[in-house]
Amino acid sequence: MKQTAVLALALATVLSTACKKKDEGKKAEPAAKPGDKPADKPADKPADPPPPPPAADKEVDLSAWGAPFAGFVAMAPEGTTVTFDDPSRQLAISEEDFLSVSEAPYYADGVKGLASDKDNSNIQIVSDTEARWERNPPLGKQWNFDIKIDVGGAAYSCNGGSFTSAAVADKLVAICKSMKKK
What are the average pLDDT values for consecutive 10-residue runs of the chain, which has 182 residues?
42 45 52 57 57 71 96 95 91 92 94 93 96 89 95 95 92 96 92
Answer for the pair 92, 101: CB distance below 8 angstroms, yes or no: no
Residue 85 neighbours by CB distance under 10 Å = 7
Q: pLDDT value at position 61? A: 96
Cα four-point dihedral sign 164, 179, 150, 63: negative
- Domain assignment of residue 2, yes or no: no
Q: pLDDT value at position 137? A: 76
| Paired strand residues for 90 | 83, 100
Q: In terms of residues, how long is the chain?
A: 182
Q: pLDDT value at position 5? A: 41
- Domain assignment of residue 14, yes or no: no
3-class secondary-structure state, position 144: strand
Q: pLDDT value at position 1? A: 45
- Domain assignment of residue 20, yes or no: no
Q: pLDDT value at position 96? A: 87
Answer for the pair 129, 148: CB distance below 8 angstroms, yes or no: yes
- Total domains in the chain come to 1
Q: Which domain holds residue 135?
A: 57-181
- Domain assignment of residue 141, yes or no: yes
- Domain assignment of residue 51, yes or no: no
- Domain assignment of residue 28, yes or no: no
CATH number at residue 104: 3.40.1000.10
Nearest in space to 156 (alpha carbons), one of 121, 180, 120, 123: 180
C-alpha 182/C-alpha 180 separation (Å) is 6
Q: What pTM was estimated for this model as a whole?
A: 0.68
- Domain assignment of residue 61, yes or no: yes
Answer for the pair 174, 73: CB distance below 8 angstroms, yes or no: no
Coarse DSSP helix, strand, coil percentages of the chain, rounded to the nearest 5 percent: 30, 35, 35
Contacts of 59 (CB under 8 A, 6+ apart): 73, 74, 75, 182
- Domain assignment of residue 78, yes or no: yes
